[in-house]
Structure 1
């Protein structure tokens, strides 16, 4: 299989399968509120895995007939107090929006569509699959030529 055929067949197939698998499963998000859960919710990645998993929830268990497709992290600042809320979301675009209100109120809303993406760090599994697919398409023909002399 030459590189052109690989790009024409393998890459779209891998990308399509990765999208299908991700969208076919209920999304998992971290769910907590620093007002209720204290410092645990402020920095989930500093917690040990067992404790962090306490906040790892599948979004399809929530009440209502909604389709949860995103995770959300909100940071609310009022004077000296900062509150962090992590939850499941039903709509909105990926990315962050910052809002400033009156009386020293600030809000930061971040939404993402990858599982557990509302932690402190960001994960990009879709990007990793895409890069790996491109590398396969580039190096497999060269490797075949090197090993078999074709």
Structure 2
């Protein structure tokens, strides 16, 4: 009887997790806005504000909609690169259309090294984003604790007694 109860809780938690992840990962965006600049040509690109409301004039030209003039690219996410060439570092913020399988990665080819991170959502390339989105963790962590409670803790009590 206890194993049937555990199986039912497992199904409930699994369905809940799949539903939440599916809802949160729906990133279909018609037009995304990203920070688009290069610190080599614009010093304000190094540190952009997180709040895009009421931007100062020096930032307004850098925060804009991702548009392809030839309508061949479908920009769906933002990107931030920190590139070092011969000990000179620059920051490049841009729109992206081909995703990497990982959110952040390094490329190194001396004398150049580049850290590239991609993210979803308007203006998200103001900084490097965490691998686990806080929205996901707010739903996933309680589910993980519930699974641990119903699957592992009862078994521990049976082993101890």
Which TM-score band applies after superposition, normalised by the shorter structure? 0.5 to 0.7
The structure with more helix, counted as a fraction of residues = 1
Matching of residue 11 in structure 1 with residue 20 in structure 2: no
How far off its partner does 1:47 sit?
A: 8.7
Matches within 5 A, 1:87-98: 87-93=94-100, 94-98=103-107
Matching of residue 131 in structure 1 with residue 140 in structure 2: no
Q: What secondary structure is seen at the aligned counterpart in 2 of 1:26? A: coil
TM-score, normalised relative to structure 1: 0.65
Aligned to 1:41: 45
Q: How many pairs are equivalent? A: 132
Q: Which structure has the greater CA radius of gyration?
A: 2
**Equivalent residue for 2:89, pick from 78, 82, 86:** 82
How far off its partner does 1:87 sit?
A: 0.6
Aligned mates of 1:110, 1:121 — CA distance in 2:
9
Is the 2:24–2:136 Cα contact (8 Å) retained in structure 1? no
Matches within 5 A, 1:90-129: 90-93=97-100, 94-101=103-110, 105-115=111-121, 116-123=123-130, 127-129=133-135
Where does structure 1 lack aligned partners over 5 or more consecutive residues? 139-150
How far off its partner does 1:129 sit?
A: 3.0
User: Structure 1 pair 121/80, CA: closer, same or farther in 2 (3 Å)?
Assistant: closer
TM-score, normalised relative to structure 2: 0.61
When the two chains are superposed, the root-mean-square deviation of aligned CA atoms in Å is: 3.4
Aligned mates of 1:23, 1:130 — CA distance in 2:
17
Aligned to 2:31: 26
Is the 2:13–2:143 Cα contact (8 Å) retained in structure 1? no
Where does structure 2 lack aligned partners over 5 or more consecutive residues? 1-7, 147-161
